[in-house]
A and B are shown apart, each in its own frame.
Chain A
């Protein structure tokens, strides 16, 4: 036993390069996993601290009670008269009124509104005292009309100078304000990219269109009063549609909210990490197999000297255990670095995160070990088994080759795996998976099984494929045709090696191809749907944010250039206990602006506060038809009985539930518009319409005024950006697979040292040697890339079928883009082989020939 360990260590030490190459892909996989944990744990801790910090002195908060938010991510406002009541409650030490607005945008000195990369632009009312999360770092607090303060990060970045005048865009338009102070949120002003301006409460209410309204009241208890007692007193003092919660609860709630978002972010990172790990499993398994082939003599010698085949298997597994352990430890360190790298990356794209605390949870270490050791051991199981089959006589008699595999058994296993994979995916997509976790699990498992099955099948056709794909190389000009020929036959030389080297690229590219197919189908479906559904010519909306002034729609309507105008608001209601999205619009013009396809009833007759319009799907869900009553629960007004005024077909852009604007006003506390849809009057051309809108555009620079085509383009652009982000992360898998290609080629060069030396001796130039190796890698990569695109097309097709018709109604295959991916992957594979190619070309000819 001790001897065996010694032997294993010796063997690893003797082959440092091979050891490094083997370990590297595992290290990368482990690093990605570790970094996703380290980053999320660190962020979570930091955000927890920020939230605790900001609410440290708050003992209780009073706010509108509701089990759900009527508009996502906002508190329902309530009347400010309540402040007096709360402040007067016995035991209240300090009470401050709070209002949060997301409708106000400061304009920089250069005339452009401040911008973020997705983070909100928020405004608070300034409050001094211990309850405030804001502290003043420069200047004065806003203390009257026309004064505001801004957070220090934004001030630094956008050059806001105390004492200067800046425009503020608000619900009612643009106004000039004086910057009187610079604030800091918590200790670090770590706002994750958000912009924070502050005003006096009165100014904020005016700017936000919320005269007389508050979002919350924060309270601290007098020193001699128990906070729980105070909470009871508060609850007793306020109306039933408000609630008082403790400071601890408040902190917990906020932490949970952040935790959820960070958790999603972490899970996405983790998903990509798992893809990377999966790819590296293939690579390391391939590496072990190649190394094994090269060590036949050594193994046979051990056998001849009396080692049992069990001992050989043990040795091989022990070696991979050590590789796995080392990879885990290195990967742990690498993951920490990567986490900080990711943070810096996000910082550089404007999403400034607080400095994260370094937390290496036991869970992280366990994950690193499980992934590192698990992956290596798993990958070495079959090579270890095969190693044990080397007969002792192979030590003397060269030329022992491992059987090319249990052909039929392999095929049967592959078939079983692919069937299981398809069943798993099918179950997730079309059947049982009723929650996201299960859906993801079944899809992931299915995809893994399919990938394994494909990689098991592919040796069956990798040799003919490589020959076929490499055929053009035969026609390269001059002396390149023989190097092309060599590259082609080398690529076709070992079917298993070619197949498993290509597998990594296959996996990465299939995921990219799938994402691209789905995104393209989505875009095409969207464009087509938009063309056939949206009848309005102009849309006014905001890129992010909870809505804008409801005055704007009237101002557009007043323009003679526009015939039909309606605002749309999006909120949340509850029907049969489930939260549902609801849209409010002027139902009398609904069909003029949006062809929802009325199936029954009459939207025009459904104006007023008593009606709701449903899609056929929703009507079926609730078992109602036109004229029936439906109980709908609003956050502000509770349960109301509405009449089904119409049933329509198409939920595109509008959703399954529509109420009239008057119904919104009656049942919602908030009153912001989210979209304005407008149709030009007959005879008004685009130029005239745009000219008419221009002054409004000037007043509301935070809003997007766009034609139907521009809107379509913007949405498609957003989808494209999302696709780019996804593909960049999937690119990690591609990078690992490229490492795998470099790895295989390096080992192949090692294996073919003699013949390379021979060819160099009889006149192969260094350049020819390099291109021979690179072209071989190119052929293997092309094979992997094509296979990947093929699998990706199938995945994409299945996904398109599984996604509801209303979102994707067609399969679009972006042939050109996919072809570009294949070309890029092939060239990348070609370049990945540069290092081994250079090694091959620099071989000392005589030493190479003399090898063995």
Chain B
């Protein structure tokens, strides 16, 4: 297994030039952490067929926080899952950096996720039998890698988890749990972090904290974050919002404000 080549694929540390066209329309101009071309995902067959993704071309810029928005059932989660190699696709192709993942084996996909992706789910993010610290280090431990202690410290301190490292998940508040999940996503310095409604189960204060951390991860540590949300306020933390409806990309918004997002959603749902 050629691990190093998978790591840091498409990792960007330099500024990207001001995009002149839709990111979705010109995936090969920007340096992209993940791209999809002609992505189609169909559940079921015949009568019960659901086109969760119906020809999606999308690229997630490296070093940016991208939000995916859309009405419920529009395919947001499905898109995230397909991009992360958690779900197989019906048609099209998906790349992580330059690596075509849409026909990789389960084993290779698992290693790819472990080494180049971070995950934050809406709920049930942590393994109940492991301490906060073990949960944070889990991807590294699974790979048999030693944690980079300096980096681990930086992440833990900036997330305010220093006191909580030896607690088990059931001894943590929802906000703390979600911060542990963020720390876990960051600890491997992945190429891209996928977050599916990471604040969906949190009160607004904790939610804002988590969003703040994701923003900082992008600004201070050049991380790439792709976040599904249906909260316009959450989306306003993003550099770019991509709108989905009925499994298709129907627009995007750069450097959005909450109000702008709100209006677009209103329009989509109308």
Question: Which residues of A are at the interface with B, using a C-beta cutoff of 8 A?
Answer: 477-483, 485-486, 489-490, 493, 754-755, 758-768, 845-846, 849
- Chain A residues within an 8 Å CB radius of B138: 482, 759, 762-763
Given known A-B contacts A761-B119, A762-B139, A763-B113, A477 and B107 have beta carbons under 8 A apart: no
| Interface residues of A, dominant DSSP | helix
Cα of A761 to Cα of B128 in the assembled complex, Å: 16
Near A by CB (< 8 A), chain B positions 172-196 give 184
Partner of A493, one of B106, B110, B129: B129
B50 sits at the interface (CB 8 A): no
B164 sits at the interface (CB 8 A): no
Decide: A761 and B129 in contact? CB cutoff 8 A: no
Question: Which residues of B are at the interface with A, using a C-beta cutoff of 8 A?
Answer: 81, 84, 86-87, 106-107, 110-111, 113-115, 118-119, 121, 124-130, 134, 138-139, 141-144, 184
Q: Chain A's nearest CB lies how many Å from the CB of B70?
A: 19
- Chain A residues within an 8 Å CB radius of B144: 477-481
Decide: A766 and B127 in contact? CB cutoff 8 A: no
Given known A-B contacts A486-B127, A758-B125, A849-B121, A763 and B143 have beta carbons under 8 A apart: yes
Cα of A764 to Cα of B115 in the assembled complex, Å: 11
Q: Chain B's nearest CB lies how many Å from the CB of A839?
A: 15
- Chain B residues within an 8 Å CB radius of A846: 81, 86-87
Q: Known A-B contacts: A479-B141, A482-B138, A485-B141. Give 12 more (CB < 8 A).
A: A485-B130, A486-B127, A755-B124, A759-B138, A759-B142, A761-B86, A761-B113, A762-B114, A763-B110, A763-B142, A766-B106, A846-B81
Decide: B127 and A765 in contact? CB cutoff 8 A: no
Partner of B110, one of A489, A754, A755, A765: A765
- Chain A residues within an 8 Å CB radius of B110: 760, 763-766
Given known A-B contacts A479-B141, A480-B144, A763 and B114 have beta carbons under 8 A apart: yes
A842, closest chain B residue (CB): B106
Decide: B141 and A481 in contact? CB cutoff 8 A: yes
Q: Chain B's nearest CB lies how many Å from the CB of A850?
A: 9
- Chain B residues within an 8 Å CB radius of A762: 113-114, 118-119, 138-139, 142, 184
- Chain A residues within an 8 Å CB radius of B121: 758, 761, 849
Cα of A460 to Cα of B86 in the assembled complex, Å: 41
A851, closest chain B residue (CB): B124
Decide: A479 and B124 in contact? CB cutoff 8 A: no
- Chain A residues within an 8 Å CB radius of B86: 761, 845-846
Q: Chain B's nearest CB lies how many Å from the CB of A238?
A: 86
Decide: A754 and B124 in contact? CB cutoff 8 A: yes
Partner of A765, one of B107, B119, B129, B141: B107
Cα of A310 to Cα of B178 in the assembled complex, Å: 42
Decide: B130 and A489 in contact? CB cutoff 8 A: yes
Q: Chain B's nearest CB lies how many Å from the CB of A464?
A: 16
Cα of A845 to Cα of B124 in the assembled complex, Å: 13
Partner of B124, one of A477, A489, A758: A758
Decide: B128 and A755 in contact? CB cutoff 8 A: yes
A-B contact pairs, 22 of them (CB 8 A): A478-B144, A479-B141, A479-B142, A481-B141, A482-B138, A485-B141, A486-B127, A489-B130, A755-B127, A755-B128, A758-B121, A758-B124, A761-B113, A763-B110, A763-B115, A763-B142, A764-B142, A765-B110, A765-B142, A768-B142, A845-B86, A846-B87
Cα of A766 to Cα of B118 in the assembled complex, Å: 19
- Chain B residues within an 8 Å CB radius of A759: 127, 138, 142
Q: Chain B's nearest CB lies how many Å from the CB of A765?
A: 5
Decide: B142 and A849 in contact? CB cutoff 8 A: no
A759, closest chain B residue (CB): B127
Q: Chain B's nearest CB lies how many Å from the CB of A757?
A: 9
Q: Chain A's nearest CB lies how many Å from the CB of B246?
A: 20
Decide: A482 and B142 in contact? CB cutoff 8 A: yes
Partner of A486, one of B125, B126, B129: B129
Cα of A758 to Cα of B84 in the assembled complex, Å: 13
Partner of A849, one of B115, B124, B126, B127: B124
Decide: B107 and A763 in contact? CB cutoff 8 A: no
- Chain A residues within an 8 Å CB radius of B130: 485-486, 489
Cα of A846 to Cα of B126 in the assembled complex, Å: 15
Pairs of residues from A and B, 10 with the lowest C-beta to C-beta distance, nearest first: A763-B114, A478-B144, A482-B141, A479-B144, A489-B129, A765-B110, A763-B139, A763-B142, A755-B127, A479-B142
Q: Chain A's nearest CB lies how many Å from the CB of B84?
A: 8
